[in-house]
Amino acid sequence: MVGIIVCSHSNLAKGIKDAANMILGEQKNFDSIGFYEGDELTNYGNKVKEITDRYEKMNMQYIIFVDLLGASPFNASAIALAAKDSRIVTGVNLPMILEVLMNRNDSSDIDALLKNALASSRDSMKIINTKIDLEEEVKK
Amino acid sequence: MIVLVRCDDRLIHGQCMTVITKVNNIDNIIVVDDFTATNAILKRVFRTAVPSNMHANVYTVKESAPVIEKAMADNSKTLVLMKNPKVYVQLLDEVQNLPKHLNVGPMSSRKGTKPVNPAINIMPDEAEAIKTAVSRGAHVYFQQVPEQRLIEWDEVKHLF
């Protein structure tokens, strides 16, 4: 089992966590940390560190998912985990998190797990033209 | 073959597509719902909702019988999905040797429902249908996703 930590501005991380728990059932080793107005970078980094330390003590691997590359949740996480062999994934979204949660038990190779999750998350992005696509569908 | 027969009053949705179809390696979904099957827009939306490697179609109860019988005989892994247990009882009459297992998944909270758990809410007429199904030899159990504890009808029948 790989620990999952979702980091974002405001309530997005909590929302992704709640949505994933609603779809998959309550998940263990799954945390979210929101960065709110007035929050301080070091303090946020410490929250990240607190959770990753907990996983390290249990000898568990973990993955950090952040909303935006180069933004505070990313910066704070990257600073907090500098010099460690950790993985931070940027541009978190629900399909990506669902894929990782569903496959994290079967995979000891974190990089392979992430490669598949990112590929499937890309596949899940589509533009459906409600007029054309749905009408084509009915002709099939 | 029919891998799973399931009630879910939202039919095809996130949980169904992300968890149920993957855990069961589903390649074919038969939705049985008179209302959806006779509404062109709803039918299109549900057919579009599945990825290209999976096949889904929506049928009325009457239309579904030969389709289910064919799926029972072939090698594709099929999920039969309906909105409520009343449809299952109808199918017991229509389909010979219909699998005698019914998974009741998410059922919304409606006026008059009683909760089996916060996500599964049952109307009195749905409970009656479950009783009929059980009396005809079906194993009826409640579970949204396989990770959650399976609740047997016997554990909750006193509620209805």
pLDDT at residue number A64: 98
Picking from B19, B43, B45, the nearest residue to A24 by CB comes out as B19
The pTM (predicted TM-score) of the whole model is 0.84
- B74's tokens: 């072939």
ipTM above 0.85 for this complex: no
- List of E strands, A10-110: 30-35, 62-66, 87-90
**Selected residue of A137, A139, A140 to mutate for chain B interface (largest B Cβ count, 10 A):** A137
pLDDT at residue number A136: 65
Mean of the pLDDT values across residues A76-86?
A: 92
pLDDT at residue number A129: 86
Mean of the pLDDT values across residues B75-101?
A: 97
Q: Could you tell me if B50 and B43 are in contact, meaning their C-beta atoms sit under 8 angstroms apart?
A: no
Mean per-residue pLDDT over chain B, rounded: 94
Residue A125 contacts B, CB cutoff 8 Å: no
Mean of the pLDDT values across residues B67-87?
A: 97
pLDDT at residue number B99: 97
Q: Which residue of B has its CA nearest to A127?
A: B48
pLDDT digits (tens, 9 = 90+) for B96-145: 999 999 999 999 999 999 999 999 999 999 999 999 999 999 999 999 99
pLDDT at residue number B39: 92
Residues of A in contact with B45 (CB under 8 A): 134
pLDDT digits (tens, 9 = 90+) for A83-103: 899 999 999 999 999 999 999
The DSSP line for B55-72 is EEEEE-HHHHHHHHHHHH
Asked whether the predicted pLDDT for residue A137 surpasses 70, the reply is no
Query: Domain containing A104 — which CATH number?
Result: 3.40.50.510
pLDDT at residue number A139: 54
pLDDT at residue number A88: 96
Q: Which domain holds residue A49?
A: 3-139
- Cβ–Cβ gap A138/B145 under 8 Å: no
pLDDT at residue number A138: 54
- Domains of chain B: which residue ranges? 2-149
d(CA A93, CA A98): 9
pLDDT at residue number B95: 96
pLDDT at residue number A24: 93
User: No. of H helices and E strands in chain A?
Assistant: 6, 4
pLDDT digits (tens, 9 = 90+) for B62-71: 999 999 999 9
For the domain covering B2-149, report its CATH number: 3.40.35.10
Distances (CA, A) of A71 to A5, A75, B59: 16, 6, 49
